[in-house]
């Protein structure tokens, strides 16, 4: 498959590390001009330099907090046109169900849901006017399998699936597609430490992660953690002209974690 995003501008929120960084690199590899986003200017600059070195692509950085209306306004002033929007920004934290405060519920809705809504609302009209565009939200298996230890996170990701489906209907017949990607347990920064808290610290990493998955994520059919690049591959495909007939979907890159044929 020849995925060519030459001439397209792609914005990936929360893209200084982990899944977001892998997605930004994948889109750059496909020829897109990529906008890296994060709150820390230093981390944005580092990510931009790494992706440029790896791909030779046109990469720029915009260090703003897109979870605020002011941050989105600043982003729009620097990046007025986006052809591929990837809403990757998200936060999570384990909190007992009865201890989740009103403020925490509001924060999770603001960051994990409303930030995506604002950016879709900001860039979708231009995509529709041009007759081509992609809006992709990075959701989670927690959207379907609500985790008891972080209900607020799960609910926010469930809402993100509905946001994607709703805006896909809003963009019907325009040449613009809107989808979400359901990411499963992923090997990101900090996860190795978490894994070694639960399994034998003397195990090599490949064995350790498989032991972790067997004991603590047994419903995974992959039986290993997903690499960020594997999620980026799906996003890069969805961002391409080849995915023109896929819209309003929730596509799973979960290693079979969700025990369901459909989301």
Helices 205-216, 191-198: crossing angle, 10 deg rounding: 70
- Written as one string, the DSSP assignment of 95-153 is --GGG--HHHHHHHHIIIIIHHHHHHHHHHHHHHHHT-EEEEEEEEGGGTS--TT-HHH
CATH 3.40.50.720 residue ranges for the chain: 9-186+227-253
Neighbours of 24 (CB within 10 A): 34
The owner of tokens 């926010």 is 156
pLDDT at position 192: 87
Helices 228-239, 18-29: crossing angle, 10 deg rounding: 50
The CA distance from 84 to 171, in Å, is 14
Q: Of the candidates 157, 215, 220, which has an alpha carbon nearest to the alpha carbon of residue 185? A: 220
- Cα–Cα distances (Å) from 224 to 59, 108, 205, 216, 239, in that order, read 32, 28, 11, 11, 26
The CA distance from 76 to 261, in Å, is 39
pLDDT at position 188: 87
DSSP state for residue 243 in the 8-state scheme = G
The CA distance from 188 to 169, in Å, is 33
Q: What is the CATH number of domain 9-186+227-253?
A: 3.40.50.720
The CA distance from 115 to 88, in Å, is 10
Start-to-end CA span in the chain (Å): 26
87 neighbors 135 (Cβ within 8 angstroms): yes
155 neighbors 107 (Cβ within 8 angstroms): no
Would you name the residues annotated as active-site residues? 153
Q: Of the candidates 143, 115, 152, which has an alpha carbon nearest to the alpha carbon of residue 250? A: 143
The CA distance from 40 to 43, in Å, is 5
In terms of pTM, does the model score above 0.85? Answer: yes
216 neighbors 149 (Cβ within 8 angstroms): no
- Cα–Cα distances (Å) from 82 to 11, 64, 91, 239, in that order, read 7, 16, 24, 12
The CA distance from 59 to 47, in Å, is 9
For the chain, 263 residues long, give each residue's pLDDT as a single digit of tens. 899 999 999 999 999 999 999 999 999 999 999 999 999 999 999 999 999 999 999 999 999 999 999 999 999 999 999 999 999 999 998 899 999 999 999 999 999 999 999 999 999 999 999 999 999 999 999 999 999 989 999 999 999 999 999 999 999 999 999 999 999 999 987 788 888 988 999 999 999 999 999 998 899 999 999 999 999 999 999 999 999 999 999 999 999 999 998 87
pLDDT at position 52: 98
The burial of 115, by beta-carbon neighbours within 10 Å (0-12 exposed, 13-18 middle, 19 or more buried), is given as buried
């Amino acid at each position: 498959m020849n995925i060519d995003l030459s001439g397209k501008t792609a914005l990936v929120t929360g893209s200084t590390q982990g899944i977001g960084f892998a997605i930004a690199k994948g889109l750059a590899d496909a020829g897109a001009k990529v906008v890296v986003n994060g709150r820390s200017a230093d981390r944005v600059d580092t990510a931009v330099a790494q992706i440029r070195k790896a791909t030779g692509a046109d990469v720029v950085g915009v260090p703003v907090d897109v979870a605020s209306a002011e941050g989105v306004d600043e982003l729009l002033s620097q990046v007025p046109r986006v052809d591929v929007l990837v809403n990757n920004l998200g936060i999570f934290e384990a909190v007992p169900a009865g201890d989740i405060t009103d403020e925490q519920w509001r924060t999770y809705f603001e960051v994990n849901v409303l930030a995506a809504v604002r950016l879709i609302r900001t860039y979708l009209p231009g995509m529709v006017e041009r007759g081509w565009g992609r809006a992709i939200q990075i959701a989670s298996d927690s959207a379907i399998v609500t985790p008891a230890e972080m209900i607020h996170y799960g609910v926010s990701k469930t809402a993100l699936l509905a946001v994607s489906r709703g805006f896909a209907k809003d963009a019907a017949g325009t040449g613009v597609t809107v989808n979400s990607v359901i990411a499963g347990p992923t090997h990101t920064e900090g996860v190795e430490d978490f894994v070694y808290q639960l399994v034998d610290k003397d195990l090599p990493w490949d064995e350790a992660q498989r032991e972790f998955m067997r004991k603590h994520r047994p419903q995974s059919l992959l039986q290993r953690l997903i690499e960020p690049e594997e999620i980026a591959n799906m996003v890069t495909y969805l961002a391409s002209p080849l995915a023109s007939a896929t819209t309003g979907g929730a596509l799973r890159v979960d290693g079979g974690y969700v025990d369901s044929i459909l989301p």
